[in-house]
């Protein structure tokens, strides 16, 4: 089980870091992928229409990446009320101190401002657990930055099962060793930094963004020796131009390859790499999005209902 928040179009970092892995997992196991619209309200509560509008882009990007709704369950978080019910019930047994010690809580407040320090934001990791636990998912693909959230969730499951009997499944992390994809400013590619190459960008836009990338600040003139190991443009060649990486490294370091030519080659190979997915995205009938979410959410509710029947019995809410 995994998901994304509908907070804008997905980018190259999502494609390489998560979506490719999702496609691979869906070929061999049952998979649930969530449009996490409730989570989006923790930082975007002032603009609900933007969250609503972003749902379509999210599904289109998933389909463009090769996610098959016939093979995986694609669902809307808010359309599965069992998730919210489980969140309410588990919140009764989770100490506030457990939530406050999750590392990302203070980090995100410092990064995004104190106005996001709401009750819902504090409970974000618990709602994440409920996304997983309501489907009794045993495996969650995560990056290392999310390990603390999953370990928190495992603690909550152990606490619930200790009090009420073995009911919920303790999820295991499937760690991604994928390194962060650099954005145009050299930082990790992120919608928050506005430094992305989006899956849905056209080729002209991608080329312009590649040309805007920062490079080695010491390589001022074309024939100056470069340091490819610190250059984000060189890093991107590994993803779309792997066969040429060794040659580019040598040519950059020797000064034989200038930054303009290096960026031109990257733009060409990156557009070629992204072209099949972009063509799939353009061919999708957008009216299918609501149908995919409706059908997927109905299937997700069937699974979630079975879990909640056992949770309610464990808590003596029903016979």
Q: Which domains does the chain have, with CATH numbers?
A: 2-181+286-314 (3.40.50.620), 201-281 (1.10.240.10)
66's torsion region: left (phi>0), alpha (psi -120 to 50) or beta? left
Angle at 56 between CA 54 and CA 58, to 5 degrees: 70
Q: Residue 150 is encoded by which pair of tokens?
A: 């999953």
Rounded to two decimals, what is the model's pTM?
A: 0.92
The angle formed by the CA atoms of residues 53, 55 and 56, to the nearest 5 degrees, is: 85
pLDDT tens by residue, 91-136? 999 999 999 998 878 778 887 788 888 999 999 999 999 999 999 9
For the stretch 264-285, pLDDT in tens is: 999 999 999 999 999 999 999 9
- Statement: residue 19 has pLDDT above 80: yes
pLDDT exceeding 70 applies to what percent of the chain?
99
Q: Write out the two tokens for 178.
A: 């994928």
Q: Answer for the pair 257, 248: CB distance below 8 angstroms, yes or no.
A: yes
pLDDT for 43 equals 87
Q: Residue 177: pLDDT above 70?
A: no
Question: What is the per-residue pLDDT for 109?
Answer: 81
Whether pLDDT at 45 is above 70: yes
Q: Under a CB-based contact definition with an 8 Å cutoff, are residues 253 and 185 in contact?
A: no
- Three-state DSSP at 140 gives strand
Number of alpha helices (DSSP H) and beta strands (DSSP E) in the chain: 15, 5
15-23 mean pLDDT = 93
Q: Which of 195, 202, 152, 135 is nearest to 8 (CA)?
A: 195
pLDDT at 61: 97
Give 161-166 contacts, CB < 8 A, sequence gap 24+: 163/93, 164/314, 164/315, 165/314
Closest CA to 65 of 282, 284, 242, 280: 280
Two tokens, residue 1: 């089980």
Bridge-partner residues for 2, per DSSP?
33
Residue 16 has a pLDDT of 92
Provide the mean pLDDT of the chain. Answer: 94
Per residue in 293-315, pLDDT (tens digit) is 999 999 999 999 999 999 999 99
Q: Are 216 and 230 in contact (CB under 8 A)?
A: yes
User: In angstroms, what CA-CA distances link 258 with 79, 137, 279, 295?
Assistant: 52, 49, 32, 52
Percent of the chain with pLDDT over 90: 86
For residue 34, what is the enclosing H or E element? strand 32-35
Question: Which residue in 63, 71, 70 sits closest to 277, CA to CA?
Answer: 63
Secondary structure class of 305 (helix, strand, coil): helix
Average pLDDT over residues 229-240: 96
- Residues 76, 293: contact at Cβ < 8 Å? yes
């Amino acid at each position: 089980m995994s998901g994304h928040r509908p907070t804008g179009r997905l980018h190259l970092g999502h494609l390489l870091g998560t979506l490719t892995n999702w496609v691979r997992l869906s070929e061999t196991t049952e998979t649930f992928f969530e449009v996490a619209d409730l989570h989006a309200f923790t930082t975007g509560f002032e603009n609900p229409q933007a969250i609503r509008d972003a749902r379509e882009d999210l599904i289109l990007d998933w389909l463009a990446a090769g996610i098959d709704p016939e093979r995986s369950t694609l669902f809307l978080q808010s359309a599965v009320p069992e998730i919210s019910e489980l969140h309410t019930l588990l919140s009764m047994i989770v100490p506030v101190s457990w939530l406050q010690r999750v590392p990302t809580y203070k980090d995100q407040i410092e990064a995004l401002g104190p106005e996001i320090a709401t009750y819902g934001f504090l409970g974000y990791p618990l709602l994440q657990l409920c996304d997983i636990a309501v489907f009794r998912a045993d495996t969650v693909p995560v990056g290392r930055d999310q390990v603390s959230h999953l370990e928190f969730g495992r603690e909550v499951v152990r606490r619930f099962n200790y009090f009420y009997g073995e009911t919920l499944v303790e999820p295991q992390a499937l760690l991604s060793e994928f390194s962060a994809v650099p954005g145009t400013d050299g930082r990790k590619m992120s919608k928050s930094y506005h430094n992305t190459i989006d899956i849905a960008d056209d080729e002209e836009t991608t080329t312009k963004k590649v040309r805007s990338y920062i490079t080695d600040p010491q390589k001022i003139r074309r024939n100056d020796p470069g340091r490819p190991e610190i250059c984000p443009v060189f890093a991107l060649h590994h993803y779309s131009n792997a066969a040429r990486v060794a040659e580019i490294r040598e040519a950059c370091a020797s000064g034989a390859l200038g930054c303009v030519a290096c960026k031109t080659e990257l733009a060409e190979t990156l557009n070629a790499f992204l072209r099949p997915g972009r063509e799939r995205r353009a061919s999708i009938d957008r009216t299918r999005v609501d149908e995919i979410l409706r059908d997927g959410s109905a299937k997700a509710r069937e699974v979630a209902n079975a879990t909640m029947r056992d949770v309610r019995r464990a808590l003596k809410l029903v016979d």
